[in-house]
Structure formats: C-alpha cells, structure tokens
Amino acid sequence: MYKILIADDEGIVRDSLKYIIEKDFSDCEIYLAKSGRQAIEIAEEYSPDIALLDIQMPGINGLSALREIKAVNKKVRALILTAYDNFDYAKEAVELGATDYIMKPIDRKKIDDTFLRLMHDIEAERQKRQYDLCIREKMEAVIPIIENGFVLSLIIKNEYNYSGAQYRELLDLKEEYGFIIVLEWGEGFMSHAPGNPVGSSVRAHKFVTGISEQIRTYFKAYLSNIMGNKIVAVIPSETDNLSYEDRLRMIEKVRSLTASLKEMVSIDFKAGIGSVRTWDDAFESYQEALNALRHGVRKVTHVDDLYVRDTDDRQYADMKKALQDALMKGSDIEVRHEAEAYLSRVFENNDDLVSAKMELLEVYIDSCHLMEERGKYFKDDFGPKLIKASDAQTLRDIFIMAVQQLKQEILIQSGKQNTVISKAQEYMKKYYNKDISLEATAETVNISPYYFSKLFKEETGINFSDYLTELRINRAKELINQDPDRNIKEVSIEAGYSNPNYFSRIFKKWTGMTPTELRDSIKAEV
C-alpha cells in the first residue's frame, strides 16, 4: 500500500493525476488537497509516502507546504508541480528535499516513470527496515548471551585473555576500565550468609527480566545470567578509580537498587562492590566484590570500606590472637612460627585457593589494624599480592613476607595503636568547635559514613553525635569553671555552638542545669 497526496488548487489537475495513478498503479490510497494548508493537515494525519505539490497555490504555496510537511515526515517523497520552467523554483525545491520537478501540462509517461522509481525506492527502504528489525530482534535475543559470555570471561581467571577482547568488540564497549558488583539474595542474612538460598533462587527466576531491567535503570551494566542466588554486574568506567565522593554516590545508588529489587521480588538483597580495574585485572574486582559481599556488615559494601573483624568461628580465634601477640612482641622467630601454624590450619580447612586467600586476607587486614594507618598494607602492597597468588606455595611465601614486614612496621611505631576510630576522635577533639559532621569525619579516615557510624558506636559505645556533644559540653564546663564571669555567648561559640539558646538547652539536657545556673553555683561556692 502506497499513500499518495495530491495538492493543487485546480480541480481538473487533481482529478487527472488521480485518474492516471489509479489506472496505472494498484494498491494506492490517494488523498486530495486544494490548498497548501489542507495539504499540511492531510500530511500530518496520514503521513503519505509520496506528495505531489503545486507551487502556485493560494495562501500557503507548494514550497512552503513542502517545508512544513518535511518537518514532520522526513521520509516523504515530494514532487513539485508547476506551469513555469523557473530555475529558482527548481533549486529551492531541491534544497527543501523535493525528489523531482514536474512541468505542466502533465506528461503521463513522466508521471509513470517517476512513480515507478519512487515506489521502487520506497519498497527497497521498507525491505531494509524489515531486515534491520529482524536483525535487531535477533540481536536482542543474542546480546544477553554475549553479555553473559563477557562477564564469565572476567570472573573466570585468565579467561579474558582468550575471549574478552572479542566480547568487547561485539558489545561495542569502548571504556578501558570497569568494576564488578555481585548481587546476592535470600530470605534474610544470618552471619552474612543468605537464608534459604535455593528457595529464593527459584523465586527470583520468575523475575529475571525485571531484575535485569531494574539494574539497567541504575547503571550501564553488562549482566551475567542468574547464578544460583547471585547475579554479576559489570560496570564500565571512564577513569581508573573512584573518588571518595564517587564511591559514596555509588554505594547510595546500589543501596537504592537493592531496596527496589527487594520491593519487586519480596526477598532480601545484598551487594558487594569491587574496585575499578582494567579489563585484564577485572577478576580481582570480582574477588573483591565477593569478599565485600561475604564480610560486609551492611547490605551494600564497597571493598574499600571493608572492615574484616573476628568471626564467631572459634577454631581460628586463638591462633589469630597468638599471631598478633607475636607481631606486637616483635620476635622474628615467634612471628614466623605462628604464621606457619596459622597457614597450616587455613589449608587444612579450605579445599580451594580462593577460600584460603579470603581467610589469610582476613587475618592480615585485622592485623593491619594494629598499625597507626589501618589497612594501609592491605590496600597498597601485600593485599593485592595475596589476591594474585596462583598457587598455595606462593600464597604461603607472600603471607610470611607480609606479616614479617608488618612486624617491622609495628616496631617502628613503638607500639602506637592509632585505629581509624582513634584518628577520628583526634580529628573531633581538634575541630569540635567547628561545623564538623559525621560525613566529613568519615572522609578524613577514608571510610563511608555508613560504616564509620557503625564502627564508631561499636568501638566507643556512643554514637558520633553524642560523642561530639559530650566533647563540646565538657569544653563549655571547663571554660565556665576557669572563668565564671565569662559571657555565656562566648562560651557557646568557643564550645562549637553558634546559637546560645540552643547551646543552653543542650547543656541542660546533658548536665541537668543551664550554663548560667552552673556559673552561679560556682560563684556561690567561691
């Protein structure tokens, strides 16, 4: 079916053209217009394939009508009709996208030849469109297979070397970096492990399309198939690392994603996020994501926020403590002996190298907490070496070297144990009278606010806000005791409160009396 618009102010011309087209061509639907305005209205409603437009029509002429029609239907083939052999008209018609320029009186052969050519072009374009849609439909079915292959090439060690580049070419993936998110689900999480993983996996399969679509609303992501109760998402990155702010935004997005997935599937979701890597090293990002997933204390954990602590598994507790005691004593013989003992226990209880790495990383990171800069060596030196170890003996050698170096660093620090929280406390004691926040303090120790808040409460027994308030109130009490005649407003400002009225309310809440009452009681004693 070809839709044809004929626009001419002369009825005999319209009828003649209609007769020729209907006589010489089948399967045509013809619309007639006697003005430029009517031609535009018909074109907007019916989207003709071919439009014959007379230049000299009252009101809106043919060229103006063509301009309007082309604005809404760029594919229309336009033929300009005129009784004047005017080059300027022809030139303007071509510039506006006219296909041909037909002189009146109408030559039937010219009309037939032109229409045969245009219909052939239209048919070829339609077939190409059908072919493209067919290819696209097939690609829509194939792309998930390619994506899954690409993800597998990254999470299976050394597989990317064989097939990764080809997958990237098929996916038109230009970015040179990326990181991995592992999403896991279950009926609640007990001791970091999902409840009823098999049952929840079966339930999630009913929502596999929705889960994939939801992930893609948050990220440009390449997804694996559902693997039991997990799905792996590969997120391309234009840079080789995430800034602190970008990391927080990423965690927020993943938190929002897990919440939306929980609402969709009615089961709990948890996520681990690896660091940005080149595609050649993406396997490490995957391992980091798994480590963050398994050891993270929140529903969403970035590997840089990972704070691995002693578990309830008592079989390693005493040996870990013995190793750390040896590190603190600084004895080379004791450190090596305890490290060897710990290694033997690890390899006895872990059948695969990955599990052994996770256990050794756990004790190593925890031992790094003895250092002034928590986790420094895990992040910058020995941690990556441990992860990259390709066999058990290499892993043993690297671990021994790591703890011996750690022992030396502890000795250099002469026993100073300045943890993340103690560093944060020092920062708060220094800037308590400034406008400091939990977020700003967390940034100084390079931990996300979510983890910092939890760790602070666990290590100090008090939340961040109350600790800061306590610092400020204690300072205010000191100032009043030192000089009872001091202006309360000055005390308020020096203690970190710009609003004296608010300061007085908080002071009374903490001490049972207002600053003025405390000052008066001190004066009375004097």
At CA 304, angle to CA 300 and CA 308, rounded to 5?
80
Domain ends where: 80, 106, 132?
A: 106
User: How many residues comprise the chain?
Assistant: 526
Give the DSSP letter of residue 195: S
> Is residue 284 included in any domain, yes or no?
yes
Are 235 and 292 within one domain?
yes
Residues 470-498: tens digit of each pLDDT = 999 999 998 988 888 889 999 999 999 98
At 88 the pLDDT is 64
Are 85 and 216 within one domain?
no
What's the one-letter identity of residue 204? Answer: A
Instruction: Residue 471: count other Cβ atoms within 10 Å of its Cβ.
Output: 18
Are 178 and 257 within one domain?
yes
> Is residue 458 included in any domain, yes or no?
yes
Are 298 and 182 within one domain?
yes
207: CB partners within 8 A, 6+ apart: 264, 265
335 pLDDT band, cuts 50/70/90, is confident
The alpha carbon of 194 is separated from its chain's Cα centroid by a whole number of angstroms, namely: 23
Residues spanned by the domain of 452: 420-525
Are 156 and 300 within one domain?
yes
Are 329 and 290 within one domain?
no
Q: Mean pLDDT in the chain? A: 82
Q: What is the 3-state secondary structure (H, E, C) of 413-463?
A: CCCCCCCHHHHHHHHHHHHCCCCCCHHHHHHHCCCCHHHHHHHHHHHHCCC
The alpha carbon of 409 is separated from its chain's Cα centroid by a whole number of angstroms, namely: 37
Domain ends where: 286, 305, 324?
A: 305
**Of 103, 15, 96, 17, the residue nearest 56 (C-alpha):** 103
Query: Which is higher by pLDDT, 242 or 455?
Result: 242
Lowest-confidence range among 382-386, 394-398, 451-455, 473-477? 382-386
Q: For residue 7, give the 3-state DSSP assignment.
A: strand
Are 325 and 295 within one domain?
no
Residues 234-273: tens digit of each pLDDT = 999 999 988 888 888 899 899 999 999 999 888 889 999 9
> Is residue 136 included in any domain, yes or no?
no
Cut 0.85: pTM above it:
no
Are 352 and 282 within one domain?
no
CATH number at 172 reads 3.30.70.270
Residue 105 has pLDDT above 90, yes or no: no
Q: For residue 324, give the 3-state DSSP assignment.
A: helix
Q: For residue 314, give the 3-state DSSP assignment.
A: helix
Please report which helix (H) or strand (E) contains residue 108, including its range: helix 108-155
> Is residue 321 included in any domain, yes or no?
yes
Are 293 and 164 within one domain?
yes
> What's the rounded Cα separation, in Å, for the pair 165 and 170?
9
Residues 287-307: tens digit of each pLDDT = 889 888 877 767 888 988 764
CATH number at 494 reads 1.10.10.60
> What's the rounded Cα separation, in Å, for the pair 125 and 120?
9
Are 384 and 434 within one domain?
no
At 374 the pLDDT is 43
Q: For residue 22, give the 3-state DSSP assignment.
A: helix
At 330 the pLDDT is 62
Are 14 and 78 within one domain?
yes
Alpha carbon distances (Å) from 524 to 486, 490, 513: 15, 21, 15
> Is residue 519 included in any domain, yes or no?
yes
Q: How many domains does the chain have?
A: 4
Domain ends where: 53, 79, 106?
A: 106
18 pLDDT band, cuts 50/70/90, is very high
> Is residue 126 included in any domain, yes or no?
no
Q: For residue 400, give the 3-state DSSP assignment.
A: helix
Please report which helix (H) or strand (E) contains residue 191, including its range: none
Instruction: Residue 45: count other Cβ atoms within 10 Å of its Cβ.
Output: 9
Residue 508 burial (C-beta neighbours within 10 Å; 0-12, 13-18, 19+):
middle
**Of 332, 194, 335, the residue nearest 269 (C-alpha):** 194
316 pLDDT band, cuts 50/70/90, is low
Residue 314 has pLDDT above 50, yes or no: no
Give the DSSP letter of residue 227: B
Instruction: Residue 127: count other Cβ atoms within 10 Å of its Cβ.
Output: 10
41 pLDDT band, cuts 50/70/90, is very high
